[in-house]
Amino acid sequence: MREIVTDRTRRARQQRGELLEGEKNDNYQDLVAKLIPAEVVAVYIAGDGAISAASEAGLTLNYGGITSVLFVALLIGTPLYLMRISKVTDVRQLAVSTFSFVVWAFALGGPFKIFFSWWNPIYGSILILIYTFYIAIILAK
């Protein structure tokens, strides 16, 4: 199950009659893994890679525009994917996971490196480190 298990979510699941016998709260590593939508990030990486390769191969295309469409499509699709495929119901987890996608997309560049002249890969690297360290701490308990 992809939904995080904390005291709060356990109470909600118990009220719905969905709590499994002996189920324990997720540890820090589980929380981090469940809060980063790895499948969506993987799709973004593959799409951005394909767009970059086509651009480098000489195909005439608007890299910034296409990566922006990819980013927006996956931004909208992240909570939908998590709700429908991964069965996540906690609104906080959906919001944090969607923002996690934004952090990863920023770190990877994509439209951010095109539209923000101040963008630098080191900013994304540092952001991922700090964000990943704190997200599970914020949602624990």
The secondary structure of 41-62 as a DSSP string is HHHHHHHHHHHHHHHHTT----
85 part of a folded domain: yes
pTM over 0.85: yes
Domain interval for residue 70: 7-139
Here the tokens at position 59 are: 């195909």
51: its two tokens: 């767009």
List the structure tokens of 94: 């959906």
Q: Tell me the pLDDT tens digit for each residue of 77-109.
A: 999 999 999 989 889 899 999 999 999 999 999
Count of other CB atoms within 10 angstroms of residue 23: 13
Q: Kindly state whether residue 78 falls inside one of the protein's structural domains.
A: yes
2 domain residue, yes or no: no
Which range has the top average pLDDT, 51-60, 63-72, 120-129? 120-129
pLDDT at 54: 86
d(CA 111, CA 138): 28
The Cα-based distances of 10 to 7, 14, 58 in angstroms read 5, 6, 53
Q: Flag whether 1 is in a domain.
A: no
Query: Structural domain tally of the chain?
Result: 1
Residue 131 lies in a domain: yes
